[in-house]
Structure 1
Amino acid sequence: MSTPTRNRRPRPAHPQAAASGSPEGSPEGAPEGAPPAGRTRLVLAVLLVAQFMLAVDFSILNVALPAIGEGLGFSLANLQWIATAFALSAAGFTLFFGRIGDLIGRKRIFIGSLVLLGLASLAGGLATSPEVLLAARVAQGLATAAATPAGLSLLTTSFPEGPLRQKALGINGALMSAGFTTGAILGGVLTDLLSWRWAFFINVPVALAVVLIAPAVIRESAPADRPRLDLPGALTVTLGLLGLVYGLTQAGEYGWTHPHALLGLAAGVLFLAAFFAVERKVAEPLVPLPTLARSNVAWGNVLGLLAFVTETSLVYLLTLYLQKTLGFTPLEAGVSFGVLGIGTVAGGLLAPRLVARTSTLTVLVAGGTVQAAFTAALLFLSTTTGPSLALLLPATFFGGIGNMLVIVGFMITATTGLPDREQGLATGLASMSQQVGITMGTPIMSAIVTATTSGAATPSAIHEGVRTAIAVNAALVLLGVALAAAFLRPRPTREAA
């Protein structure tokens, strides 16, 4: 792949980027690494606002679930489907929609999915029955599954590999993690002060603004040669992911031995095995196996999966601890995570600078080590409020910085060295790792807490269950550090290009 030099007019990084009109090269007239100017800044702002909104949507309803149940008549057993319906569609269809964006245009998919998100959010806020609300959550999940990889693809194809892309991915990662934390806080504020319906309505004006601005500022990005859609591959991978996500959510709710959990996990594994068998035989696979076999793509996504499994589930564990052990209200617990949000923003801004000064591998290992150390520090949380907050607040701040270093490092690693025609696939895989990680983390940690407490719900029992799950969480972070050090050796520039 040819790259522009500092002494010549920038050229697209791949021949098909020019054919598609994708601005893969540096902004015209600007040297590589220069701050993006004018239109490029506006493109970045539009994409980042959309990604932040999508991240907020993952967590904004968590605190509001009891109020929604009371307002619409959900039974306690069915309340979990408000989150599960979203998670199933968001995680299950991400890779499929990421590839669709490669075929018909990422800009079209991005704008169309935000229209769907706005309409689904309006329907959810106006819902008067459980059926309507669940349908709205499914539509929100599908919109997220389409918008997240399309937005990331537009982001990566708008900047050349190097400092500009690293900076953009760093800001994107920071805003996504901050959005997840903001959602927890905002959900509590809106539910307490207004109504749970505003947790839906808040998406509508933001989606409308992005849809009105995006067509004028974002260029279409799609490869010139558009292969046929691999329908058998799309069907098997989607069913496989749906099975895994369903099995995990059922395991978190009822335990790992529940028939629904076992059936879902078994079906997921079988469909994913069928997917790989299909991909070996079809002429134009949904996921070309040589791409998946690249060490940076394969291991980068494993690290991303672990990063999202650990940090998002840690928020769940600390929410459980703050409310069930220390007696915090939902709003107080949500506000306590503001420090974590600040840490993730700081980590996102710091990560590109560290990558430029050292290497992506160094940032991955250092970030994981910091996250593991401060997660392990939470093992010393007690049942007393004052000392516990004195430990929890700085530990979540520095742990958030470490986690964001890993997330930015994963995004750079998993999307580097690929031509424009495969950016939709690469960002689809990265988005899938993110969505599945967010979905997997909470049920896994919930199952650990449930097994440790043996069903007891006393403050001391919850405290002990949370500490056990935190130990597992820290161990998973250390596993990621070990995998990065073992399998992500730095490669010469010519091989990565």
Structure 2
Amino acid sequence: MTGRQRLALIVLLAASFTLAVDFSILNVALPTIGADVGFTLENLQWIATAFSLCAAGLTLLFGRVADLAGRRKMFLIGMALLGAASVAGGLAGDPTLLLIARVGQGVATAIVVPAALSLLLSSFPEGPLRAKALGLNGSLMAAGFTTGAILGGLLTDLLTWRWAFFINVPVAVAVLLIAPAVLAESKPTTKQRLDVPGAITVTLGLLALVFGLTYAAEHSWTDPLTLGSLAVAVLLLIAFTAVEHRAKFPLVPLGILKRSTVAWGNIAGVLAFVTETSLVFLLTLYLQRVLGYSPLGAGLSFAVLGLGTVLGGILGPKVIGKIGNKKAIVYGFIVQAAATGALVLLSSSPASIALLLVATFVGGVANLVVIVGFMVTATSGLPEGEQGLATGLATMSQQIGITMGIPIMSAIITAHLVGLGAQDASAVLSGVTVAIWVNAGLCLLTALAVALFLRKAAPVPD
């Protein structure tokens, strides 16, 4: 890498890691925040939901806006918004301001993540350097989710939950100072327009989908509001497809979804994030409800998983270089399934922590090999004008995967506990075990589907 490429990589990775941390940094601190700011217990989940709704629902839109308006420009706007929203969140004294701050952070994530990934792709040509950069990006994004849980507990215990917001400010300022000097602007040379009807239908459809999934985890899959939200999401996404067929400048040229690499790469990405982030949720329940760990202790137990994801991000490009994208995804999912499946042996004995640490480390390495393979597969072989769209789709897959995993596994556990008619530690362990079997099964099914259906596509000329 050149010196400029190294600086660009540091800036982009710092931004992406910070935003990944924001997904989970407040989870451990939610009860403390509720008591300080005045949230009722039933409304606490909106601190997380307000963020994930915007981060997942708006990312495709802003990925396309970055294509049209300029990726560096949107990246800088997003980082400025992140800094401002973080200051507001740290100073919030009432629920309204705190929720506005979380919405601001979610919108900033939807702006910055696809723009940063597009800038990273434009900074490194296809080949080993790009694979290495994507590996580092993937490892830090995944490690950020785990780091957020650890960091949130530490900041809340040692200082105050407000530092979970304030910690973003120096990062945002540093990025805003350095980025203009090391990142080159990129946007299309031909004049294009934003597909407004497409933007409205897909954004509202994604918002309805994420809301429905989140509400299902908090209430039930049969709740009228859950079913209504998911039905609205389906109708809006069907309308979006119809709009795109007729649009002169479509938000998503539907032809891109006919490419095997884009379609199956993103399916693999969704399942990679569904399985690993939901596993963190399952094991958090196990550690706290079965082994009796404190929230901070449970968070620290995932440090080994974080190390595994970093190692996986480093190994991912090497694995891809030796066996190719497709085999990296397939074999990665198989190893992840084996590591996850081993967790069905967890018991109420404190000694089970050893199995948990080993299995999550191995699974974390494998999961990041899959994520690097997904990123390389879903974003390679495309013309420059579609890079932002492809990265927007890849980023949306990541955000949707993170959002979907917990509701799905939560619904499995809830149904199991209702069937048992119990809520004690033994019942929770039984429910977690069932959900772990489902998690491992999803990994194996995805490996099989990718092995059968992912085809290598020839690069598309500009």
TM range (shorter): over 0.9
Residue 156 in 1 paired to residue 94 in 2?
no
2:291–2:349 CA contact under 8 A, matched in 1 = yes
User: Amino acid of the residue matched to residue 384 of structure 2?
Assistant: D
- Partners of 1:450 and 1:97 lie apart in 2 by 36
Picking from 122, 129, 146, the partner of 2:94 is 129
Q: Does 1:487 align with 2:453?
A: yes
How far the C-alpha of 1:102 sits from its partner, in A, is 0.3
Shift of 1:458: 1.1
In 1: Cα distance, 2:147 partner to 2:320 partner: 26
Equivalent residue runs for 1:94-493 within 5 Å: 94-386=59-351, 388-454=352-418, 456-491=422-457
With structure 2 as the length reference, what TM-score do the two structures score?
Answer: 0.98
Identity of aligned residues (%): 64
What displacement does 1:322 show?
Answer: 0.3
1:8-87 maps to which residues of 2 (within 5 A)?
A: 36-87=1-52
Tell me the alpha carbon deviations over residues 255-280 of structure 1, each in whole angstroms, 9 at most, x when there is no partner: 10111111111111110010001001
Tell me if structure 2 keeps the 8 A contact 1:113–1:146: yes
Q: What do residues 121-160 of structure 1 show as CA deviations (whole Å, max 9, x unaligned)?
A: 1100100000110111111100000100000000011111
User: Any gaps of 5 or more consecutive residues in structure 1?
Assistant: 1-35
What is aligned with 1:22?
A: none
Which letter maps to 1:272? Answer: L
Q: 1:416: Cα distance to partner?
A: 0.6
Supply the distance in 2 between the matched residues of 1:66 and 1:146 (Cα, whole angstroms).
Answer: 29
Q: Report the Cα distance in structure 2 between the residues aligned to 1:445 and 1:225, rounded to whole angstroms.
A: 46
The separation in 1 between residues aligned to 2:32 and 2:422, in whole angstroms, is: 24
CA contact (8 A) 1:102 1:226 kept: no
How far does residue 101 in structure 1 lie from its aligned partner after superposition?
A: 0.1
> Secondary structure of the residue that 1:328 maps to in structure 2?
coil
Deviation at 1:372, TM superposition (A): 0.5
Offset at 1:483? Answer: 1.5
Task: Assess if the C-alpha contact under 8 Å between 2:260 and 2:455 holds in 1.
Answer: no
Report the AA paired with residue 332 of structure 1: G
Misfit runs of 4+, over 4 Å: 493-497
TM-score (structure 1 length as normaliser):
0.91
| CA 259–172 in structure 1, closer or farther in 2 if over 3 Å, else same | same
The CA distance in 1 between the partners of 2:459 and 2:156, in whole Å, is 53
Residues matched between the structures, number? 460
Which consecutive unaligned segments of at least 5 residues does structure 2 have? none
Could you tell me whether the CA contact under 8 Å between 2:383 and 2:461 is conserved in 1?
Answer: no
CA distance in 2, matches of 1:41, 1:471: 42
Contact 2:66 2:115 in 1 (8 A): yes
